Structure 1
Amino acid sequence: MNAPATSSSATPAPRGPQSVPQPLRIAITTGEPAGVGPELTAMALAGAAAHWPDAEFVVLGDADLLAARAAAVNVDWAALCTIGAGSRVRVEHVPLAAPAQAGKLDAANGRYVLALLDRAIDGAMARTFDAIVTAPLQKSTINDAGVPFTGHTEYLAERTHTPRVVMMLAGTGARPLRVALATTHLPLKDVPAALTIDSLVETLRIIDHDLRRHFGVPQPRILVTGLNPHAGENGYLGREEIDTISPALKAAVAAGIDARGPYPADTLFQPRYLNEADCVLAMFHDQGLPVLKYATFGEGINVTLGLPIIRTSVDHGTALDLAGTGRADAGSLIAAVDAAVSMARFRHTRAS
């Protein structure tokens, strides 16, 4: 298999346009109250005025919980949220359903977590918020509260009435590694049936469109994995590459999308391919994300493509064992906030 030859530059979301309305308004959901989300929010926003002078942040969560978790990580939350010169942070109080203890899940707060997310989505859809950033939540708590819940990605699609969204994780830097998923939170046995020509073409269209719209990549190059070992070995190890993935790539190319493959996933993730790509499309969750998280964990972000709103998130979970200890790292949430601000800036610049 020959390596791709040339590609457009894989740039991060552009920074610093001059015509953006002031300030951008970014909502942050603080996620599972027993997890690290509340304290990471405080840590990330401690330098908000200096890092993002053109943005203000609306933190969604229980005000008392946020103050207590901020104190645990030595952030002066009252001073940070005081209205005045240089203040860029305010709390929109959403009360807990039950007292929250760091590290201990309580199903009584499952609907509280969803209330935070609903408020952020509604505000973004109404253009009250320019973007939303979501701290990690605990799926089991929401399900234990009696609400069927698969994940942020699927819930955002349902609440925004978006027929198809794409989950993409990305590293940071001048040439970020980006990995998008053709399927998300499915049992492995259900993945082959979920892959269709039409769904793959639509997924590639969304990736191509949003890399242009949100990240300023002028001509995205997308490398696509196969599903089976060795990309099916010409049908000897499975026919999905022949019957589904290759026809989808042919249709995408005919539509003007620079999509190439299918490549064996075990050899695709190396510099001679990735240096010439803007995104990799993997067929299932644990095919692409272990590689990306190995390379970028703690500094990567999760972006939901295809939505009518901007949404970014962290690349990790609730870290219940670290909650309240002061040992959690806010790097991924800082990167998610930075990406949300940059994407919002770029959208306003394009619209102006």
Structure 2
Amino acid sequence: MSEKLKIGITMGDPASIGPEITVRAFADKALYEMCNPVVIGDADVMAEAVKIVGKPEIRINSIEKISDAKFEYGTIDVYDMKLVDISNFERGTVSVISGEAAFQYVKTVIELALAGEVDATVTNALNKEAINLAGHHYSGHTEIYADLTKTSKYSMMLAHENLRVVHVSTHVSLRKACDLVKKERVLEVIRIANNACKALGIESPKVGVAGLNPHSGENGLFGDEEILEIIPAIKQAKQEGIIVEGPIPPDTIFSKAKGGMYDIVVAMYHDQGHIPLKVLGFVYNQKEQKWDAVSGVNITLGLPIIRVSVDHGTAFDQAGMGTASELSLRNAIEYSILLANSKKIN
């Protein structure tokens, strides 16, 4: 047991599906065979989630320090923050209380990872409006992690099966995203992408770089960012020994990567990278009016600690139903173990 990696998993927004999909993930014995998982959250909320999901055989073990965890199948160890009054709590809504709790869970798991008490961190979804209402003015997990770990050079990576995407910019307006496409930032993200693939065990990664404009600018006809910023970054990366191609038109690069031509894609902005990943990973069953799959993960690269997240939101509309899919959370935990093992080896 002592040799297994300790994985700290935040509960996410208490009013979201986070507690429920956490219970569903922990109900799989295979999770305990892979790692020693512990939830950072509220024990009372997790106990209610056990009832909602219909897993009465699962026990909640409230702990105040990681060393008190049992790491036994059938028991969910909860690093109990005691931030939510279950008697005055409403699921499926944005609130200051839930926003504050969700932020504190993240802050705590970061502190535990920096102290070496957990080997990797996995985050369930939080609500950006809620954490901002609580006075924590961040646009998402990525920015919280970067700030609290004092990291200036970082990027978001999305992954679904063999398709991996890193972003030059994320949570900014589209107008500002275009302004952020600069040679140094593009080069920085190419380097981060290359290193991320190596951390995943890919010895000689092939990086594909997307253009910003339609047809990658068509030699300046539809914009000159490719000529002035992206191509110079790619040339510099090649001089550093990175196997990289581009700029490739955004409407074809993801199909090429999915087909195995590239190990990872550098996207220029948030939606350029998110849309193809979610088209593949999010599968809605029109006949049964439900999601058959919500898979894929979100990884923050460049941090001193490992952070992997589910690639979906809080899904307040599904909270309390007990039917939300835990697939993305399972994917995230598996990725965190892979990255933590690689970090130990290197």
Provide the rounded CA distance (Å) in 2 between the counterparts of 1:189 and 1:233.
20
Match of 1:42 in 2: 23
Give the conservation status (yes or no) of the 8 Å contact 2:42–2:84: no
More strand per residue:
2
Cα distance, 1:207 vs structure 2:
1.3
Distance 1:247 1:84, change over 3 A: closer
For the residues of structure 2 that align with 1:84 and 1:274, how far apart are their CA atoms? Answer: 40
Are positions 1:316 and 2:312 aligned together?
A: yes
2:52 to 46, 68, 72: 72
Q: Equivalents in 2 of 1:104, 1:84: separation in Å?
A: 32
Contact 1:46 1:80 in 2 (8 A): no
- The normalised TM-score by structure 2 is 0.89
Candidates 144, 149, 159, aligned match of 2:138: 149
1:321–1:265 Cα change, 3 Å: same
> Which residue in the other structure is 1:25 paired with?
6
Secondary structure at the residue paired with 1:269? helix
8 Å Cα contact 1:67-1:77 kept in structure 2: no
User: Alpha carbons of 1:334 and 1:238: their partners in 2 closer, same or farther (altered >3 Å)?
Assistant: same
Aligned mates of 2:92, 2:165 — CA distance in 1: 30
- What TM-score do you get using the length of structure 1 for normalisation? 0.88
Counterparts of 1:142 and 1:83, CA distance in 2: 31
Of residues 333, 339, 346, the one that matches 1:343 is: 339
Q: CA deviation at 1:80?
A: 6.4
Q: Look up the SS of the partner of 1:41 in the other structure.
A: helix
Q: Partner of 2:228 in structure 1?
A: 243
Contact in 2 for aligned 1:36/1:323 (Cα 8 Å)? yes
Following superposition, the deviation at residue 77 of structure 1 comes to 6.5
Question: Which of 197, 208, 212 does residue 211 from structure 1 map onto?
Answer: 197
Query: How do residues 260-271 of structure 1 correspond to structure 2 at under 5 angstroms?
Result: 260-271=245-256
* Structure-to-structure mapping, 1:173-252, within 5 angstroms: 176-213=162-199, 215-252=200-237
Structure-2 residue corresponding to 1:96: 83
**Does the CA contact (< 8 Å) of 1:63 and 1:91 recur in 2?**
yes
Residue 83 (structure 1) shift:
4.0
The answer to whether the Cα contact below 8 Å between 2:15 and 2:98 also exists between their aligned partners in 1 is no
- RMSD across aligned C-alpha pairs, in angstroms? 1.9
Alignment correspondent of 1:4: none
- State percent identity of aligned pairs: 38
SS of the residue 1:191 aligns to: helix
Note the residue ranges of structure 1 that are not aligned, 5 or more in a row.
Answer: 1-19
Matched, 1:162 2:156: no
In structure 2, the CA distance between the partners of 1:164 and 1:85, relative to structure 1 (3 Å rule), is: closer
Q: Report the counterpart of residue 130 of structure 1 in structure 2.
A: 119
AA matched with 2:42: D
The answer as to whether partners of 1:268 and 1:274 remain within 8 angstroms in 2 is no
Amino acid across the alignment from 1:314: V
User: How big is the shift at 1:50?
Assistant: 2.6
| DSSP 3-state at the match of 1:53 | helix
Shift of residue 345, structure 1, vs aligned partner: 2.2
> What is the CA–CA distance in structure 1 between the aligned matches of 2:71 and 2:217, rounded to whole Å?
61
Are the equivalent residues in 2 in contact too, given 1:105–1:141 (CA < 8 A)? yes
Determine if contact 2:211/2:250 at 8 Å carries over to the other structure: yes
Q: Residues 263-291 of structure 1: CA distance to partner in whole angstroms, max 9, x if unpaired?
A: 11012222477412110111011112111
Corresponding residue SS for 2:317: coil
Q: Which letter does structure 1 place at the counterpart of 2:20?
A: E
CA distance in 1, matches of 2:7, 2:119: 6
The amino acid that maps onto 1:94 is M
- Aligned equivalents of 1:85, 1:312: Cα separation in 2: 23
Counterpart Cα distance in 1 of 2:257 and 2:316: 38
Give the alignment partner of residue 279 of structure 1, picking from 249, 259, 264.
264
Distance (Å, rounded) in 2 between the aligned partners of 1:307 and 1:224: 22
* SS in structure 2 at match of 1:238: coil
